[in-house]
């Protein structure tokens, strides 16, 4: 099965749309192409994957936004729903994936931060009981928190339980100008899962368009911004071997799931399968 050269971390991928929605066929293809894990959503999918002999890299938390709601009753409702899901997945997966997107992104970020602390603190007991943890991806979406060292650090201070962890995805850090290896050095002991996704920085577009305004005449980039684009590992800026060396030194024993967001491959079944296999082969050499 596919593993990285450094650390022997199992390689899988995050489930996407289209052809990947047929769970049984997806599992068969993953096994035939040397993938060790899948990232999925929902108890039924989790059970199908584990029954087939593959590991779960992470399972999406069903209602993360509700935990960052200004409405206390809504936070309680979301906590109950997430707790039920975590219990249903006990023994099947350790990692519960989320992005810290507030229910009302127009609110001041500091206000949403308080709701996030309150909401996610409600999950620590059930996570302890079930041997689980939250793995937070730092996608900088509307109003999102825990994308930068500032708020990740502050969140772990307010909710110190080790059931709160990081889904390390260097692609988001690179697009924001945050050193992904320095970030890993600070938060390596919190990394519970990894996304195999990279970012290519486009120097010519940076010169032409800068960083502060959207293009006026230039075409947009699929899975990208004015001067950057998400891509498969090996096509971007990330030093993957160095990251794996750092993770080995801190005792990481999880997996790496390719998150395929690359305009050169997304859009067709043939292209997406090719992108996933190429990414796996690159990571095997790191």
- Taking a C-beta distance cutoff of 8 angstroms, is the pair 161, 133 a contact? no
Q: What is the pLDDT of residue 185?
A: 98
* Secondary structure, 3-state, 217-240: CCCCCCCECCCEEEECCCCCCCCH
Cα–Cα distance for residue pair 225/176, rounded to 1 Å: 11
- Taking a C-beta distance cutoff of 8 angstroms, is the pair 188, 246 a contact? yes
| pLDDT (mean) for 23-48 | 97
Q: What's the pTM value of the predicted model, to 2 decimals? A: 0.97
Distances (CA, A) of 234 to 4, 13, 107, 262: 13, 16, 38, 12
- Taking a C-beta distance cutoff of 8 angstroms, is the pair 278, 196 a contact? no
pLDDT tens digits along 173-206: 999 999 999 999 999 999 999 999 999 999 999 9
Q: Which of 208, 194, 80, 60 is nearest to 134 (CA)?
A: 60
Rounded to 5°, angle at Cα 159 from 91 and 113: 115
Q: How confident is the model at residue 254 (pLDDT cuts 50, 70, 90)?
A: very high
pLDDT over 70 for what percent of the chain? 100
Q: Which of 286, 276, 270, 277 is nearest to 14 (CA)?
A: 276
Distances (CA, A) of 56 to 14, 22, 171, 203, 254: 10, 17, 22, 37, 10
What rounded mean pLDDT belongs to the chain? Answer: 97
Query: What's the alpha-carbon Rg for the chain, to the nearest Å?
Result: 19
pLDDT over 90 for what percent of the chain? 99
Q: What is the pLDDT of residue 1?
A: 76
Q: What is the pLDDT of residue 60?
A: 98
- Taking a C-beta distance cutoff of 8 angstroms, is the pair 189, 226 a contact? no
Domain ranges of the chain: 11-284
| pLDDT (mean) for 124-152 | 98
Pick among 1.20.1250.20, 1.10.510.10, 3.20.20.150, 2.40.440.10: CATH of 11-284: 3.20.20.150
Q: What is the pLDDT of residue 54?
A: 98
pLDDT tens digits along 83-129: 999 999 999 999 999 999 999 999 999 999 999 999 999 999 999 99
pLDDT tens digits along 43-67: 999 999 999 999 999 999 999 999 9
Cα–Cα distance for residue pair 64/90, rounded to 1 Å: 18
- Taking a C-beta distance cutoff of 8 angstroms, is the pair 202, 227 a contact? yes
| pLDDT (mean) for 161-176 | 98
Exposed/middle/buried for residue 78 (C-beta within 10 Å: 0-12, 13-18, 19+): buried
Give me the torsion for CA of 275, 223, 18, 137, rounded to 10°. 90
- Taking a C-beta distance cutoff of 8 angstroms, is the pair 262, 230 a contact? yes
Which residues are paired to 59 by β-bridges?
40, 96
**DSSP secondary structure code for residue 54 in this structure:** P
């Amino acid at each position: 099965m596919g593993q990285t050269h450094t650390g022997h971390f199992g390689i899988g991928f995050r489930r996407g749309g289209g052809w990947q929605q047929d769970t049984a066929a997806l599992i068969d293809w993953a096994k035939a192409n040397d993938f060790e894990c899948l990232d999925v959503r929902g108890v039924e999918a989790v059970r199908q994957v584990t029954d087939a002999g593959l590991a779960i890299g992470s399972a999406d938390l069903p209602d993360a936004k509700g935990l960052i709601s200004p409405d206390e009753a809504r936070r309680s409702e979301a906590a109950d729903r997430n707790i039920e899901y975590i219990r249903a997945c006990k023994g099947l997966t350790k990692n519960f994936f989320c992005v810290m997107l507030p229910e009302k992104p127009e609110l001041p970020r500091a206000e949403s931060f308080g709701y996030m602390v309150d909401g996610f603190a409600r999950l620590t007991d059930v996570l302890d009981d079930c041997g689980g943890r939250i793995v937070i991806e730092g996608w900088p979406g509307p109003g999102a928190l825990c994308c930068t060292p500032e708020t990740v650090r502050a969140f772990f201070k307010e909710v110190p339980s080790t059931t709160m962890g990081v889904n390390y995805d260097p692609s988001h850090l690179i697009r924001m100008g945050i050193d992904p290896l320095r970030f890993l050095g600070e938060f390596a002991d919190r990394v519970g899962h990894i996304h195999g996704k990279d970012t290519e920085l486009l120097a010519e577009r940076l010169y032409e368009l800068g960083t502060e305004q959207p293009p006026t005449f230039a075409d947009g980039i699929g899975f990208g911004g004015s001067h950057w684009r998400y891509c498969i590992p090996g096509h971007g800026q990330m030093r993957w071997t160095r990251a794996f060396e750092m993770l080995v030194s801190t005792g990481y024993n999880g997996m790496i799931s390719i998150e395929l967001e690359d305009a050169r491959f997304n859009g067709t079944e043939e292209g997406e399968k090719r992108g996933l296999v190429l990414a796996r082969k690159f990571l095997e050499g790191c």
